[in-house]
Structure 1
Amino acid sequence: MQSSVVSKKFTGPTSSVRINVPELWVFFSCHALMWEAFDPLSKQWMDLPILNADEVFQFSDKESMAAGTELLVLGKDMFGQAIYKYSLSTNSWSAGKKMNTPRCLFASACLGKTAIFAGGVDESGKTRDTVESYDSETGAWETLPSLLNSRKMSSGVMMDGKFYVIGGSGGKGGKALLSGEEYDFEAKKWRHIPNMSPGGGTGSMAPPLLAVVANELYAADCLAMTVKKYNKVKNVWENIGRLPERAESMGGWGIAFRGCGDRVIIVGGPRRRGDSRLEIYSWVPSQGPPEWSVIGQKESNSFVYNCTIMG
């Protein structure tokens, strides 16, 4: 995988240092207000400045998404929904503008400078069908056509130039939704796709763990410890191999499964007593069935709370 570089300048009180930063970074957090980044190619680690937020935000559930060269972290503070954004160009955090319809437990994905957020639960606990896009260059939110179904705990991906919202739960009684929805940016319409969910997003299960590489969709089945690939023609999920042994989770919580350039990345935290390793695994689908290699390892005392890819 080839990665272009952008020039990043850190300016301190008495000195200025210019370094090259690879285009693809894996951003993740194993602590309330601390974030790290890892470059899969150079194996370089980077610690971000500590996020300065109130105690309510520190202990609230948080969700993240990258857009352009910004990392968005969404949660709640004492005044309601709060959004903080980290800028790669300035190496600093700042407060972001709130959504038009604040919510959590949404599906999200990014395409270049734009991030899309769909569904979720609003501040009153109601499951939503609303959809918004965020422009990292202007900081503006735009309301898009609503989903066909209200849903929460679903997952979002970009594939073939379209945005997909998959699985989760919704409707009366919060029943499992096995379908997916496809958004066509040109037509500005949603299309229903039955049986597109690989499972997850109901009860105590995490939302579906999905990754897109070369416009192919993969899923991690943490109960069976297998990797699935979505067959677009037949509209079925097919088992293609195993997850790495240490990719353990609690119903899908605690690990990250993401597409990163030409590879699938898994970020997993420690699980066993006395084991303080956090490991990052990589598999390149174009090279054949899943064969995982450890490309990063460090000490950690917690599992992965949030993860996103900036590129």
Structure 2
Amino acid sequence: MHDYCFVHSDKGNNVCGSQLIVVGRELEGIVVWRYELENNKWFKGPAMITPRVMYGSASRGTEAFFAGGINEVYQAVNIVEKYNADTKTWAVIREMHKKRKFSSGFFLSGKFYVIGGRDENNENLTCGEMYDEETNSWELIPYMLKEMAFTSSHSPPLIAVVDDNLYLMDNSVSELRVYDRNTNVWKKLGVVPVETNITLGWGVAFKSIGDRLLVIGPSSSQSCNRRTVVYTCRPSPKVEEQLWEELKDSCDIAYYHQFILNCCVMFA
């Protein structure tokens, strides 16, 4: 089993097919653990070719892409690897234009994107990059996050894709936005009913589930006893205010810790 360092280290996770991939630091370095749903067991490895944490990642079927991150000597890199859940192997693909850590990844219209993060000098990146697997090439997208307010310690961008639309939760004002690829502009879609500005986006889960958005985080209530809440909505880029529905009976979430460490969605 993993050591105590892994429990307290920064970890990233991703669902790839029926496997849950968790990457973090153990005493001897960065390791990969995977949970196989069909076996209901955890296995160690296989290791990344260049081990990293705090990368941007996304999955598509039984493949997952892991871009950038912080390597074992704590340097930001532009290395990209692809994991295949069927063969349990890693493959290196073309490097990104920018070295970046604390970024976010997603698939949109069949292409893999990486957005935001910080460079090797810890400067915030407003650009994004798009990877075309057919040509094995990256396209730099300047000023993709030019409208966002940044701090020195904000979380990776909170993003989710529903119906081939890219949504972002602006953690400075707890506001939902949708991206227009034609104009490179983010349209405002109203306030999200959780507080993201308290922790600068850290500890909040923002995911897509089918045709809905899911958010888990501290309640936006002004009560002194903030509780953890779960909301979903069926987003529409054409509506200025989204209808968020609280999931009160899904689980006893009110007693959970308000800081969500990791969150993944797996369809069994």
Q: Same fold (TM over 0.5)?
A: yes
Q: TM-score, normalised by structure 1?
A: 0.78
RMSD over aligned Cα atoms: 2.0
- Closer, same or farther: CA 75–194 of 1 in aligned 2, 3 Å: same
The match for 1:256 among 186, 191, 205 is: 205
1:189 matched residue in structure 2: 137
The 5 Å alignment of 1:20-169 reads 52-169=1-118
Stretches of structure 2 that go unaligned for 5 or more consecutive residues are none
Deviations 1:79-122 (A, max 9, x none): 21111111111222111211000111110000011110001111
Q: TM-score, normalised by structure 2?
A: 0.89
Is the CA contact 1:200–1:207 (under 8 Å) kept in the aligned structure 2? no
Supply the AA of the counterpart residue of 1:158.
F
- Closer, same or farther: CA 240–305 of 1 in aligned 2, 3 Å: same
Is the CA contact 2:5–2:26 (under 8 Å) kept in the aligned structure 1? yes
2:263 matched residue in structure 1: 307
The match for 1:177 among 99, 114, 125 is: 125
Higher relative contact order (CA 8 A, sep 6+): 1
- Distance across 1 between alignment mates of 2:260 and 2:197: 11
1:269 deviation in Å?
Answer: 4.9
- Closer, same or farther: CA 285–302 of 1 in aligned 2, 3 Å: closer
Supply the AA of the counterpart residue of 1:259.
S
Deviations 1:203-255 (A, max 9, x none): 21001100110110111012212111111111111111111145564000010
Is the CA contact 1:132–1:143 (under 8 Å) kept in the aligned structure 2? yes
- Distance across 2 between alignment mates of 1:114 and 1:144: 13
- Closer, same or farther: CA 240–194 of 1 in aligned 2, 3 Å: same
Deviations 1:170-204 (A, max 9, x none): 15x32211110000111111101111126478621
Deviations 1:96-149 (A, max 9, x none): 211000111110000011110001111112210100011111110000100011
Is the CA contact 2:217–2:258 (under 8 Å) kept in the aligned structure 1? no
Identity %: 35
- Distance across 1 between alignment mates of 2:219 and 2:6: 24
Is the CA contact 1:167–1:208 (under 8 Å) kept in the aligned structure 2? yes
Deviations 1:51-71 (A, max 9, x none): x42111111111111100111
Question: Larger deviation: 285-294 or 208-217?
Answer: 285-294
The match for 2:234 among 265, 270, 284 is: 284
Is the CA contact 1:225–1:242 (under 8 Å) kept in the aligned structure 2? yes
The match for 1:244 among 170, 185, 193 is: 193
Is the CA contact 1:270–1:302 (under 8 Å) kept in the aligned structure 2? no
- Distance across 1 between alignment mates of 2:218 and 2:30: 28
2:214 matched residue in structure 1: 265
- Distance across 2 between alignment mates of 1:269 and 1:132: 34
Is the CA contact 1:278–1:297 (under 8 Å) kept in the aligned structure 2? no
1:14 matched residue in structure 2: none
Partner SS, residue 232 of structure 2: strand
Runs of 4+ off more than 2 Å: 197-202, 245-249, 269-275, 286-289
- Distance across 2 between alignment mates of 1:301 and 1:229: 29
Is the strand fraction higher in 1 or 2? 1
- Distance across 1 between alignment mates of 2:111 and 2:56: 14
- Closer, same or farther: CA 131–263 of 1 in aligned 2, 3 Å: same
Is the CA contact 1:148–1:190 (under 8 Å) kept in the aligned structure 2? yes
Is the CA contact 2:176–2:189 (under 8 Å) kept in the aligned structure 1? yes
